[in-house]
Copies of this chain bind each other. A is one copy, B any other.
Amino acid sequence: MGGFKHLVVVKFKEDVVVEEILKGMEKLVSEVDAVKSFEWGQDIESQEMLRQGYTHAFLMTFEKKEDYTAFTSHPSHIEFSATFVTAIDKFVVLDFPSVLAKSPA
């Protein structure tokens, strides 16, 4: 893997239908070639002391930082982001060159 990562950790508002948000996100990544891979998950351990209200993580991988920068100004991303921010209660976003310290065998 490696590459440049865009990580979003989220707590959604209570009345949000997460499946709809996910559909929009999957459409978005399918429309933007720069997004090399996209994976997400919902925390199942439910230890509030650890997750602190956050429930979902979304992780996109780009080949390089420039591709991520281009993605942020892509019309599909701008359109999706406008919807996304209305759905979330709180979030943390980290963008970083990934260091692969142990590779899959």
Contacts and interface: CB of A to CB of B under 8 A. Distances in A.
Interface of A: 1-2, 5, 7, 9, 22, 25-26, 29-30, 35-45, 47, 50-52, 54-57, 59, 61, 65, 91-105
Given A57-B5, A101-B40, A92 B94 contact: no
A54 B1 contact: no
A79 B15 CA distance: 41
Nearest to A8: B50
A56 B37 CA distance: 20
Contacts of A7: 9, 57
A22 B43 CA distance: 24
Ranked nearest first, the 3 interchain pairs of A and B with the lowest CB-CB distance are A41-B96, A50-B93, A38-B102
A22 B105 CA distance: 21
A9 B44 contact: no
* Of A26, A29, A93, A98, most B-chain CB atoms within 10 Å: A93
